[in-house]
């Protein structure tokens, strides 16, 4: 066998020799270099390998690994807002108690795989529930939106996620609040950040989307506020933007359609800036609408409502929309518009739910079963008109969905929707039964059902780099889910058939009188939670907001 060391020698020995290497030597060196390069993974190959491994982990046994806020500390009301910040080092939460809590992994705690502890508590000064809280990029500033119609910005510096005492630090509104914006005239619902510490967008029930620039100042009220980017004639409750395509965003609310706006075309409402009222129906920069083929059985015409929207951070063009009393739908902003009849022929939408079956105590198998969710239609009106006239009036091109994800129930609260996985391979949504559902985006399979709340799950936020998800809802706690080495305690996949069929029946009925007991249960639960509050009295309106967000 040839000795590689004697044959190859070293680069220095070649350099010392004035003679050029022979053709055979050159060929051998090229072959060896290629072989060594193949053995050493490139950064791109390493990244792909890591993403593949993380993707597989999400499909394995997820289970609850921690609960934030137990043992008498934490939030004292429903947790409506969750967001990861600073590349996943911090978790920000807020809700009905109107406090912001900033959580950080505590390296001194070794009793848990994910030992997050609360480092900072900020009293926001909001007078109604906080619906969303986001840390602005490249800064320590946190923006919030609330049922009191206000947008607030807080900053306590680097101490926001690093308590100097080791225990949670509490900041008053006067200490932390740096801006109060009263531009919206309806309850403010969601925030999307941009790649800036000063710019962000908010959406509200007044039908507007507003851009806020902290580098400038104005006096709210009258005509002092900058004109909105978007003004629609119906209430808005959700907004989505991808950092890969920051020039476009999608809004949804009390309408059968979501609307895509492109800021490269956007213009101000000059009439409003001149003190005149613009036409209420003007949506001058909408370039696409997103629609379904039809309403869901039991979904009242005129009562359609999009509760959640999310754009992919992996590819920038995929969009998830969650419809009240219906399912989650996947769209692409790159798809060609078309009429519903044409799109139906090309669609892969399935009327039933395909569920992945576990083949052992560890991990999910590749076998699957199909649950027929339409086999119990005794409470369905066969003559009900479910059509949606998506081509009406405005003439804006309409995009139809690529896929549909069903099995959960979205009736009683405003639920977000989200992607999970390093390449957004999974789709997730909360449910009125206290579970959250996880589907494979490509196959449509229901991968898992996990118990995330004692009543309703509203929010699921995946960690930006780890296979870890934070989950919240009506409970006062935040639950963390990650892959488990043992058989998962909180998975309900084995009861998928019962759960999915029950949710389908509840979705068809909607919020009718027959659901009064379930609603009463939520109100009683809320009353019990509010009795824990000590720092501020709440009025009756908050109880409704807790249930309906």
**DSSP-derived secondary structure for 421-465:** STT--EEEEE-TTSEEEEEETTT--EEEEEE--SS-EEEEEE-SS
How far is 343 from 330, CA to CA, in rounded Å? Answer: 14
Distance CA 381, CA 494 (A): 31
| Euclidean distance between CA atoms 91 and 85, whole angstroms | 6
- Cα–Cα separations (whole angstroms), residue 480 to 66, 420, 464, 519: 5, 14, 14, 26
The pLDDT value given to residue 298 = 79
- At residue 343, the pLDDT reads 46
**CA atoms of 130 and 80, how far apart (whole Å):** 7
Helical spans, DSSP H, in 40-170: 43-58
Q: Do the strands 398-399 and 368-371 form a parallel or antiparallel pair, or are they unpaired?
A: unpaired
Distance, CA of 171 to CA of 122 (rounded, Å) = 5
For the chain, the 3-state helix, strand and coil shares in percent, each to the nearest 5, are 20, 30, 50
**pLDDT recorded at residue 56:** 81
3-state secondary structure 453-499: CCCCEEEEEECCCCCCEEEEECCCCEEEEEECCCCCCCECHHHHHHH
Is 307:324 a contact under the CB 8 Å cutoff?
yes
Q: Would you say 94 and 478 are in contact if contact means Cβ atoms under 8 Å apart?
A: no
Alpha carbons 371 and 375: distance in angstroms, whole number = 9
Place of tokens 């129906």: 281
Please, are residues 342 and 399 in contact by the beta-carbon 8 Å criterion? no
Report, in angstroms and rounded to the nearest whole number, the Rg of the chain calculated over CA atoms: 26
pLDDT score recorded for residue 333: 96
- pLDDT at 48 (0 to 100): 80
Q: How many residues does the chain have?
A: 549
Q: 0.95 exceeded by the pTM?
A: no
* Per-residue confidence (pLDDT) for residue 113, from 0 to 100: 81
- Tell me which H or E stretch contains 8: helix 4-8
* Exposure of 450 in the CB half-sphere (CA atoms within 13 A): 30
User: Which token pair is 55?
Assistant: 């993707």
pLDDT per residue of the chain (549 residues) written in tens, 0 to 9: 444 334 333 333 334 444 455 555 556 555 645 554 555 456 777 878 877 777 888 877 899 999 999 767 899 999 999 999 999 999 999 999 999 999 998 877 767 788 899 999 999 999 999 999 999 999 999 999 999 999 999 999 988 878 777 788 999 999 999 999 999 999 999 999 999 999 999 999 999 999 999 999 999 987 789 989 999 999 999 999 999 999 999 999 999 999 999 988 755 555 555 555 555 444 447 899 999 989 888 788 888 999 999 999 999 999 999 999 999 999 999 999 985 444 444 444 555 777 876 655 445 455 667 777 654 555 556 556 677 776 656 788 999 999 999 999 999 899 999 999 999 999 999 999 999 999 999 999 999 999 999 999 999 999 999 999 999 999 999 999 999 888 899 999 999 999 999 999 998 887 553 344 445 445 545 554 554 444 444 444 443 344 446
């Amino acid at each position: 066998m040839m000795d590689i060391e004697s044959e190859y020698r070293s680069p220095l020995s070649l350099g010392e020799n004035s003679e050029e290497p022979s053709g055979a030597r050159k060929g051998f060196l090229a072959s060896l270099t290629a072989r060594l390069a193949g053995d050493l993974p490139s950064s791109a190959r390493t990244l792909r390998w890591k993403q593949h491994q993380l993707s597989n982990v999400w499909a394995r046994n997820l289970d609850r690994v921690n609960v934030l806020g137990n043992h008498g500390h934490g939030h004292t009301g429903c947790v409506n807002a969750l967001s990861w910040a600073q590349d996943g080092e911090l978790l920000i939460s807020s809700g009905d108690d109107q406090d912001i809590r900033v959580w950080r992994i505590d390296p001194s705690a070794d009793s848990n795989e994910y030992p997050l502890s609360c480092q900072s508590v900020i009293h926001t000064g909001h007078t109604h529930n906080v619906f969303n809280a986001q840390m602005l990029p490249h800064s320590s500033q946190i923006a919030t939106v609330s049922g009191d119609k206000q947008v607030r910005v807080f900053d306590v510096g680097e101490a926001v996620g690093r308590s100097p005492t080791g225990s949670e630090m509490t900041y008053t509104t006067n200490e932390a609040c740096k801006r109060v914006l009263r531009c919206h005239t309806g309850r403010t619902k969601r925030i999307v950040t941009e790649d800036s510490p000063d710019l962000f967008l908010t959406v509200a029930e007044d039908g507007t989307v507003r851009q806020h620039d902290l580098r400038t100042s104005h006096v709210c009220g009258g005509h002092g506020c900058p004109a909105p980017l978007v003004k629609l004639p119906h209430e808005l409750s959700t907004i989505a933007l991808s950092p890969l395509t920051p020039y476009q965003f999608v809004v949804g609310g009390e309408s059968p359609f979501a609307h895509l706006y492109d800021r490269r075309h956007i213009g101000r409402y000059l009439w409003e800036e001149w003190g005149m009222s613009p036409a209420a129906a003007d949506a001058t920069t909408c370039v696409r609408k997103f629609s379904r083929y039809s309403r869901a059985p039991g979904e009242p015409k005129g009562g359609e409502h999009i509760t959640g929207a999310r754009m992919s951070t992996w590819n920038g063009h995929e969009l998830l929309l969650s419809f009240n009393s219906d399912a989650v739908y996947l769209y692409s902003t790159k798809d060609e518009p078309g009429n519903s009849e044409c799109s139906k022929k090309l669609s892969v939408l399935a009327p039933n739910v395909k569920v992945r079956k576990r083949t052992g105590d560890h991990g999910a198998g590749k076998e699957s079963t199909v649950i027929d969710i339409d086999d119990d239609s005794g409470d369905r009106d066969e003559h009900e008109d479910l059509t949606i006239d998506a081509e009406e009036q405005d003439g804006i091109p309409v995009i139809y969905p690529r896929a549909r994800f069903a099995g959960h129930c979205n009736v009683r609260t405003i639920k977000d929707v989200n992607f999970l996985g390093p390449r957004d391979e999974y789709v997730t949504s909360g449910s009125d039964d206290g579970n959250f559902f996880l589907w494979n985006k490509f196959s449509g399979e229901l991968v898992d059902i996990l118990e995330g709340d004692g009543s309703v799950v509203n929010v699921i936020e995946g960690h930006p780099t780890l296979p870890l998800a934070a989950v919240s809802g009506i409970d006062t706690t935040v639950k963390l889910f990650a892959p488990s080495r043992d058989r998962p305690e909180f998975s309900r996949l084995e009861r998928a058939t019962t759960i999915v069929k029950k949710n389908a029946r509840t979705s068809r009925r909607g919020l009718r009188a027959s659901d009064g007991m379930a609603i009463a249960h939520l109100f009683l639960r809320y009353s019990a939670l509010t009795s824990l509050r000590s720092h501020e009295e709440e009025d009756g309106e908050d109880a409704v907001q807790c249930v309906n967000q």
